[in-house]
Amino acid sequence: MSSLDHVRLKLNKHMLKNDLHGDQVRSMFDAITPVYDRMNRLMTFGQDRSWRRFLVRKIAPQPGEKILDLATGTGDLAFEVLRQQADVSVWAGDFAVQMMKQGQQRQHAERIHWLACDALSLPFADDCFDAVICGFLLRNVEDRNRAQREILRVLKPGARFASLDTMPPSGFAKPLVWVACRFAVPLLARLMTGRSGAYRYLGDSTLGFASPSVLLDELRSVGFEAGGMQKFWMNSVAVIWARKPS
Ligand SMILES: C[S@@+](CC[C@H](N)C(=O)[O-])C[C@H]1O[C@@H](n2cnc3c(N)ncnc32)[C@H](O)[C@@H]1O
């Protein structure tokens, strides 16, 4: 069996356990919009901001470039791009329109091109972005392989891709992260929102997700030149990056 077959096998196992259909994912995120940003800050003790800063530094936006934040949600990564490089054209796409409406209330939102779109069928021409970034898309998207191929398609030759996501824990942190995923985060969500469903899904999908090295293998298998990874927070979060061949 080739290493790619192993990757596919792992992926399929993961899908059986955790996958929701696209419309369920969309309604889930639309429904948690009012608490989404606050929960992110609370669950991560504000650390998600530094992971986002790291990701954007990794793609190093240059003046005049066109950058897509795919699955933008409320736009945290898109705003971070503008903070690091004001002279760029930033596009922010998601299929959860309520999440984007929330982002559009934020200061400087008018500097971003917001667009309702599905990562599985992007409404952009081939070879048109200098960089595509995403936060927590690859764990949530219904068909990861198709999303990866779409991202590759819209990138210019030589252009960069970076993704931030949670990852299944390993080593000494495993029991801690497991307790956080199974109990602490759903409990926090229940206290904050009266419901914990979406945050139980966060825990389940994190524990069943592919590791960064599997994700990099997948990116290589669809045609990216793989770059690297950086893990954070007891190896429970990772940024991975890659490039479209020139
Ligand atoms: C956990 S949120 C992340 C939002 C934001 N990127 C962040 O870093 O906070 C995941 C986002 O992925 C979006 N998403 C999932 N599947 C998608 C798809 N097929 N097309 C577009 N957006 C998708 C959801 O709507 C949701 O807004």
Model pTM score: 0.90
Ligand 1 contacts CB of residue 92 (under 6 A) = no
Phi, psi angles (nearest 5°) of residue 120: -85, -10
Q: What's the gap in Å between 10 CA and the centre of ligand 1? A: 22
CATH dotted code for 3-243: 3.40.50.150
pLDDT of residue 17: 38
Nearest CA-CA partner of 95 in 108, 67, 77, 114: 114
CA 130 to chain centre: 18
Three-state DSSP class for residue 117 = coil
Q: What's the gap in Å between 2 CA and the centre of ligand 1? A: 31
Q: What's the gap in Å between 141 CA and the centre of ligand 1? A: 8
Ligand 1 contacts CB of residue 76 (under 6 A) = yes
Ligand 1 contacts CB of residue 118 (under 6 A) = yes
CA 140 to ligand 1: nearest atom: 15
Q: What's the gap in Å between 102 CA and the centre of ligand 1? A: 14
Task: Please calculate the CA angle 128-54-77 and round it to the nearest 5 degrees.
Answer: 50
Going by alpha carbons, the residue nearest to atom 17 of ligand 1 is 141
Going by alpha carbons, the residue nearest to atom 4 of ligand 1 is 73
pLDDT of residue 170: 82
- All residues at 6 or more sequence positions from 2 whose CB lies less than 8 Å from its CB, including other chains: none
pLDDT of residue 178: 85
- The pLDDT averaged over each successive group of 10 residues in the chain (246 residues) is 29 40 89 91 93 98 98 98 98 97 97 98 98 97 97 98 93 84 86 82 90 97 95 93 98
Strand pairing class (155-166; 129-135): parallel
CB neighbourhood size of 115 (10 A): 16
| Domain extent listing, the chain | 3-243
CA 36 to ligand 1: nearest atom: 9
Q: What's the gap in Å between 72 CA and the centre of ligand 1? A: 6
Three-state DSSP class for residue 10 = helix
Ligand 1 contacts CB of residue 135 (under 6 A) = yes
- Whole-angstrom distance, CA of residue 86 vs CA of residue 75: 15
Amino acid in the structure at residue 28: M
- Whole-angstrom distance, CA of residue 238 vs CA of residue 242: 13
